[in-house]
Amino acid sequence: DPAAAVVAIDPRDGAVRAMYGGKNFAVSKVNLATGDGGSGRQAGSAFKPFTLATAIEQGYSLNSRWHGPSSITIPDPACYTDGAPWELSNAADEESGDFTLLSATTYSVNTVFAQVASAVTPEAIRQTATRMGIRSPLEPVCSITLGTQAVTPLEMTNAYATLAARGWRHRASPLERVDTADGKTDLQIGGRGKLVVRQNDADLVTYALQSVIT
């Protein structure tokens, strides 16, 4: 410990250009990048863009305003945890106040994203994440927005590549093509892909995520 994994994907065609899944296969036969031989990991706040994409698809503006207290109780029955209303807090007390959806993304405000998850529904978030490239099974619960469920670096990179490709999803593959023994191409990998998020919606999510860095 600690352990790490890296995946690099070309958003234009889904080509896996680099992948690191562990340092010693003889010691651990778990590929941390793909989850093979083990399980995935919680994505944490890296999963919030799927909630953001869902909200934008449903017509919420990046300038829409939300109150994000340091802690909150979500009364929505769909968000109940162990039969009681969902209670959660922000990572830091200073992350509280009134936010636009854009600034709530910039500062990764849990209490705002919990409200957004309730508003857009966890099932819609699950569907968005699956469309964009998440292949692990996801439960449609409100905490999905906080990245509490196991996913892999490979599928997270694939889903983020969909944003970079302005809404076009390409299935990640380490192969460019498969040729037969006589030199003919039997299978061509890549192609145009599939448009799974409207271009403008994807661009708005990318714009919001740029604010996290700047």
pLDDT for 151 equals 97
- Phi/psi class of residue 107: alpha, beta or left (left: φ > 0; alpha: ψ in -120 to 50)? alpha
pLDDT for 24 equals 87
Q: Which residues in the chain come in under a pLDDT of 50?
A: none
Q: Of the candidates 134, 125, 112, 11, which has an alpha carbon nearest to the alpha carbon of residue 62?
A: 112
pLDDT for 94 equals 61
- Cα distances from 23 to residues 38, 86, 188, in angstroms, run 15, 39, 31
pTM: 0.92
Cβ atoms 143, 129 nearer than 8 A = no
3-class SS of residue 1: coil
Q: Of the candidates 102, 90, 93, which has an alpha carbon nearest to the alpha carbon of residue 206?
A: 102
| Rg for the chain, CA atoms, rounded | 19
pLDDT for 59 equals 98
pLDDT for 81 equals 85
